[in-house]
Amino acid sequence: MRVLVVEDERKIASFVRQGLEEQGFDVEVCGNGTEAFERATTRPYDALVLDIMLPGRDGLSVLRGLRERKVAVPVILLTARSELNERLDGLNLGADDYMTKPFFVEELAARLQAVVRRASGEPAGLLRAGDLTVNLLTRQVRRGDRDVELTAREFSLLERLLRTPGRVHTRTQLLEHVWGYDFDPETNLVDVNIRRLRRKLDDDTAPAPLIETVRGVGYRIRQVG
């Protein structure tokens, strides 16, 4: 799979290149938006990894330009934690997914495979687990035929877990990712929010909670169909 990584921060670009190459991707790196647009319109790629803040054209402008020209290559945006609006703009402009920095390159590889796989299938920005669907664009959450209202924290906690079904996340990882700053390690914020999520997601008849507790370690999404 041939991927164009558009990122001007050298450290990130080289760690992404190395990680993706180890996973068998054929990687090109470009640090300038204008040049990236040139390449993406003239060379065949299976996917783009596109940072938003770039010298030359910014990532969103590159994306808009590609979609205007009907270049349908799957695009994963790289965003900073604070760039929620840009993220939504990006999804509206036709990005297929986004990664918030910092991220694990294994996760980027998995998502690249997913966006390429569904390039002609499922709508973008949809996460699923069994009968639960989470729309990253509209932020609508549904369990079966029921709408579920979540707070922003609950939503990002659920999103984090859904991204990697079956993988266990420690409380510290979830705190860092969802709350994003240093907390007292004794805080029970994660547990409290998981409890609320379960109350909202699971109904009384559910045989097992969708979010599993892995004793002494953390939480994960139960793997369902």
**Interacting stretch for Ca ion, rule CB under 5 A, among 51-59, 169-177, 179-187, 196-204?**
51-59
84-92 and 59-68 helices cross at what angle (nearest 10)?
Answer: 10
- Which residue has the closest beta carbon to Ca ion? 53
Number of other CB atoms surrounding residue 109 within 10 Å: 19
d(CA 41, CA 100): 26
Out of 16, 25, 51, 221, point to the residue binding Ca ion (CB under 5 A): 51
* Cβ distance to Ca ion smaller for residue 80 or 119: 80
**Interacting stretch for Ca ion, rule CB under 5 A, among 6-14, 97-105, 109-117, 198-206?**
6-14
* Cβ distance to Ca ion smaller for residue 51 or 154: 51
**Taking Cα atoms as reference points, which of 104, 41, 50, 110 lies closest to residue 72?**
41
State which of positions 162-181 bind Ca ion (CB under 5 A). Answer: none
**Interacting stretch for Ca ion, rule CB under 5 A, among 7-15, 92-100, 126-134, 199-207?**
7-15
* Cβ distance to Ca ion smaller for residue 76 or 211: 76
Is residue 8 close enough to count as binding Ca ion by CB under 5 A? yes
- Cα-Cα-Cα-Cα dihedral sign, residues 20, 25, 26, 31: negative
